[in-house]
Amino acid sequence: MLVSVSTISKSRTISLVRLALRDWLKEDAPTMIYIMKVLMACLLAMWLSLRFELDQPRTAMLTVAIVMQSRTGMVFAKSYYRLLGSIIGIVVSFLLVAFFAQERVLFLVSMAIWIGFCTAGSMVFRNHQSYAFVLAGYTICIVGLPATITPELTFSIGVTRISEIIIGLISASLISDLIFPQRIGDLLTAKIRRRFSDFSDMLRAMSIEKIGEESSKYAALRIVSDVFELETFRASSGLENDASRHYRLRLSMLNAEFMQVSTSFHSLEQLLRRQNSTGNPQVVEALFSLYQLLKTVISVEDRSIVNEIEARQLATALKDLRSSLQQKIDLVRKALPNSLNASERLDFESGAELLRRFVDELYVYTSTYASLGSETTEAAKDAIANHPPRLGMHFDSLAVTLAGIRGALSLAAMACLWIFADWRSGIEAITIGIITSTLYASSPNPKKTVKQFIFGAILGSVFVYICNFQILPQAHGFLMLSLAVAPAIVIASWLTTRPAFTTIGSGIFIIFLMHIGFNSAYSANPITFMNDALADLFAITTSGILYALIDLTSSGWSRRRIVKKLRELVVSTCLEQLPQRPSRLETRARDLVQRLDGGHRAANVQDKQVIDCLLSTLEIGRAVIALRDQMNEVDDIAIKLQIADCLKRIADLYTSPSSRNQIDAINSINQAVSALENIMVATKLPQFTQHQLLTMLHFIRCALLDNDSVLSLHNPNAKSREGAIYAT
Amino acid sequence: MPREIALLDALVPTLLIAFMISVMLSWAMDWLFAHLGLYQYIWYHSLFRLAVFICMFSVLGLMIY
C-alpha cells in the first residue's frame, strides 16, 4: 500500500517537474540566453578595445548595449543604421569644426539647426532608419563638442569613436549570429499565420445577431500596428541572408493585400450594420445568406485555417466560390419579394457588390499566403514583377517641424546654461539632453518614457558609483574587471527584456556605460563623477519638460490634426487628377494613424475617434476610387458632369463638415442616381459600368447618411442635422 | 607592403584595407553560395561564414606582414 502511494506521488512529481521544465525552456530560457549574450558581447567589446588600446572602451560597450536585440536580423539592421548614422554625424562635426571652431555661438547655432533637422528626420522615418537620424544628431555632440575645446584633436576623436563603434557592432553581430541565433524568419511565419487565423476568426464571428457590436474596431487598430511591424521585420530579415528576395517581395505584397481586404471587410460590415438598423430586414437576411456561403468556405472542421497547406486548399475553394457567386446572387435576387422599392433593391445590389469585391480580394490574399509555403513558380514571379507595393512615408509636416524645433530648443537651453554659468559639466549635460530629446521624439508617449528614463538614470548612477569607487579600485586584471561590470549589465539587460521596464533598462545602460571609470587605465574621480551625474539628471529633466511643453503625440491637438489630415485625404482622392490607387490611399491613411500611437491601447475615447475616422476615410476613399475608375468608361457628358459634381460636393463636405454641405452632397448623389436609373441613359452605358456606378453611389450615400459616422461628431450643428436628413 | 598607407592624406593601417577587402570577398562568396544552393551541405551557416572570413583576412594579413 505504502509503496504504491509513494510510486504514484513519485511519478506525479516527475511529471510536474517535466511540466515546469518545459515552461522554463519556453519562457525563461530564451531570456537567460539573451542576457548571457548581451554580457558576452559587452565583455568581448571591452576586451577588444582594451587590446587595441582604444581611448574609450565604454563607447564600444554602449554600442553593444544599444544594438543588442533578441532577433539576429534586427541586430544586423540596427548595426547597419548605427554605423551609417555615426559616420554621417562624424563627417558633419568635422565640417562644423572646420568652419566655426573659433566662434562657439555660431558653432552652437549651426549645431542646433543640424539637431533640429535630425529630430525631424527621426519623426519622418520609422524604426531603424529613424534611429540613424537620432545618431547622426547626437554623435555631433560627442565628437564636435570636445573638439571645440581642442580643435586639433577632432580627427583623432572622430576616428577613435568610429573604431570603437565598429568594434561594438562586430561583437554584437558575431555573438548574436553564432550563439543560439534567433531567426526572424520563424517569427515572421508565426506572425503571418496568427494574423490570418485572427482575421478568419473575425470573419467567422460576424453574424446577424452581433452586427452592431464594436469588436472589429479593436481589431482594426491592431491591424494598423501589425502591418508596420511586419514591414520592419521584413526589412530586417533581408540582412539575415537566408530568406530570398522573392520571399520578401511576397511578404510586402501580402501586407498590401491584407490592408485592402481588411478595409473591404470593414466596409461590408458597416453596410450590413446600417441596413440592419434602418433598412429592410429581408434585404439583410438575403445578404447574410450570401455571406453564409463564405463563412462555410473559410471554416475547416469548425476552426480557422492555421498554415500554408490549408491555405492552398482554401484558395482553391475561394476560387470556386468566386466563379459561382454571381449565379448565387442572381438566385437570391429572384427570391427577393416584389414589394421592395428601388432604394431597397439598391441596398441589396451594393451589398452583393461589396461581398463580391471582398471575396475577390480574400482569394488574392489567401493565394499569396499559400504561396509562401512553396517554392516560387514562374507565374508568381510575373505577378510580383507587375505589382511592386511599397509603404511610403506620409507625415504631418507641421508636427515634424515642431519636433525639430523642440530638439533645437533643448540644445539651446543647455548651451546657454553652459556658456553663461561657465558650467564644467556643460558638455556632458548637452550630450545627454540631446540623446534623450532625439531618441524619444518618435515614441508614442515621450513624457512617460522620459520619466522612466530618469528612474533608470538614477539607478544607473547608483550602480556606477558603487562600481567605480567600491569595486574597481580593488580589481586587478581582465577577469576581475569583467566581474565588476557584469552585475549592472545583467540587471539592465534583464530589465530591457520586460516590456514594461525597457526604458528603465536602457537608462541604466546609457548612464552606467557612459560613466564607467576606466579608459586604458583606472580614471574615476568622485568629484567629476558627482558633477556629471547631476548634470545628466538635470538635462534629462529639461528634455522631459520640453516634451511636455511641445506635446505632439498624445494631446488633443495632435488628434485633431490627424483627423483633419485624414479628411484631406478624402478630399484629394475626390479631386486630384492623378490616377488613384487603393493601396496608396491605404498606406497614407494608416501611416498617419500609426504615428499617433504604437497601437497597443484603444481604451481612450479620443483614440477611438481617430480610429473611427481612419476607417470611414478608407471606406469612403475606396468607394470614391472605384467610382472614378468607372467614370472613365462613361462617354455620356451629362452623366460625367453629374458624377463630377457629386465628387466635388463630397470633397466640400469633407473640407468643411456641416449639415448644409451634407445635404448638398446627398442631393447631388440623389440626382446622379436618378439620372443613371433613367432608361434612356441605361441603354447607352455598358451594363456593368452602370451597375458599378449605381452601387458605389448608393454606398457613399448610405455612409454619408449614417448617424453613427465620424462626420457627425465633428458637425457643429449635430442637433439640427437629424431634422435636415428627414427634410431631404 | 607598407604597414600604413595614406588615404586622402590620413594614415590608415593597411590591415584596415585588407579587412574591407575580405568583407567584400566574403559577401560575394556568400551570395555565390546562396545562389548555387551550397549552403544545404553546411551544418552551421554563420559559423562557416565566420571561418571563411577569418581564413581570407588572415591570408591577406600575412601577405602584409
- CB spacing of A177 vs B34 below 8 angstroms: no
pLDDT of residue A167: 92
How far away is chain B from the Cα of A82, in angstroms, using its nearest Cα? 18
User: What average pLDDT does the structure give for chain B?
Assistant: 84
Q: Residue A638: count other Cβ atoms within 10 Å of its Cβ.
A: 11
Range with lowest mean pLDDT among A55-59, A215-219, A423-427: A215-219
The secondary structure of residue B12, as a DSSP letter, is: E
How far away is chain B from the Cα of A436, in angstroms, using its nearest Cα? 34
Q: Which domains does chain A have, with CATH numbers?
A: 2-182+394-549 (no CATH), 184-241+245-375 (1.20.58), 556-727 (no CATH)
How far away is chain B from the Cα of A171, in angstroms, using its nearest Cα? 12
The rounded distance, in Å, linking the Cα atoms of A621 and A654 is 11
Whether the pLDDT of residue A43 is over 90: the answer is yes
With beta carbons under 8 A apart, name residues in chain B contacting A181.
46
- Of all residues in chain A, the one with the smallest CA distance to B40 is A242
- What 3 state SS string does A324-391 have? HHHHHHHHHHHHCCCCCCHHHHHHHHHHHHHHHHHHHHHHHHHHHHHHCCCCCCHHHHHHHHHCCCCC
- CB spacing of B34 vs A241 below 8 angstroms: yes
pLDDT of residue A508: 92
- CB spacing of A177 vs B46 below 8 angstroms: yes
pLDDT of residue A461: 93
The rounded distance, in Å, linking the Cα atoms of A680 and A676 is 9
- Of all residues in chain A, the one with the smallest CA distance to B32 is A241
Copy the grid coordinates of residue A211.
Answer: 452586427
Choice between A174 and A653, residue whose per-residue pLDDT is larger:
A174
Report whether A710 contacts A612 (CB < 8 A). Answer: yes
- CB spacing of B30 vs A177 below 8 angstroms: no
Which positions in chain B have a beta carbon within 8 angstroms of at least one beta carbon in chain A? 10, 30, 34, 39, 45-47, 50
- CB spacing of A174 vs B50 below 8 angstroms: yes
Instruction: Please report which confidence band the pLDDT of residue A36 belongs to, taking 50, 70 and 90 as the band edges.
Output: very high
Does the beta carbon of A177 lie under 8 angstroms from any beta carbon of chain B? yes
Choice between A441 and A431, residue whose per-residue pLDDT is larger:
A431
Pick among A76, A171, A241, A247 to test the B interface (most B CBs inside 10 A)? A241
Q: What number is the average pLDDT over the span A230-243? A: 66
Whether the pLDDT of residue A244 is over 60: the answer is no
Count CB pairs under 8 A between chains A and B. Answer: 15
Report whether A646 contacts A664 (CB < 8 A). Answer: no
Kindly provide the b/e burial profile for residues A489-525, where b requires at least 16 CB atoms within 10 angstroms of the residue's own CB: bebbbbbbbeeebebbbbbbbbbbbbbbbbbeeeebe
The rounded distance, in Å, linking the Cα atoms of A594 and A319 is 34
- CB spacing of B10 vs A177 below 8 angstroms: no
The rounded distance, in Å, linking the Cα atoms of B17 and B4 is 10
Whether the pLDDT of residue A254 is over 50: the answer is yes
Whether the pLDDT of residue A157 is over 50: the answer is yes
Per-residue pLDDT tens for B11-41?
778 888 888 899 899 888 888 887 787 777 8
Choice between A278 and A365, residue whose per-residue pLDDT is larger:
A365
Q: Quote the distance between the C-alpha of residue A46 and its chain's center.
A: 35
Q: What number is the average pLDDT over the span A87-91? A: 90
Pick among B29, B38, B46, B48 to test the A interface (most A CBs inside 10 A)? B46
Q: Residue A290: count other Cβ atoms within 10 Å of its Cβ.
A: 19
- Of all residues in chain B, the one with the smallest CA distance to A244 is B34
Q: What is the ipTM of this complex?
A: 0.74
Report whether A515 contacts A464 (CB < 8 A). Answer: yes
pLDDT of residue A620: 83
Q: Residue B3: count other Cβ atoms within 10 Å of its Cβ.
A: 10
Q: Quote the distance between the C-alpha of residue A374 and its chain's center.
A: 28
With beta carbons under 8 A apart, name residues in chain B contacting A177.
46, 50
User: What average pLDDT does the structure give for chain A?
Assistant: 79
With beta carbons under 8 A apart, name residues in chain B contacting A242.
34, 39, 45
Copy the grid coordinates of residue A477.
Answer: 586584471
Instruction: Please report which confidence band the pLDDT of residue A205 belongs to, taking 50, 70 and 90 as the band edges.
Output: confident
Instruction: Please report which confidence band the pLDDT of residue A42 belongs to, taking 50, 70 and 90 as the band edges.
Output: very high
Per-residue pLDDT tens for A457-485?
999 999 999 998 888 888 888 898 899 89
Choice between A680 and B58, residue whose per-residue pLDDT is larger:
B58
Q: What number is the average pLDDT over the span A35-64? A: 90
The rounded distance, in Å, linking the Cα atoms of A480 and A486 is 10
- Of all residues in chain B, the one with the smallest CA distance to A240 is B46
Chain A stretch 195-254, residues whose beta carbon is closer than 8 A to a beta carbon of chain B: 241-242
pLDDT of residue A378: 46
Per-residue pLDDT tens for A104-149?
788 888 888 998 888 888 888 777 788 888 888 888 888 888 777 7
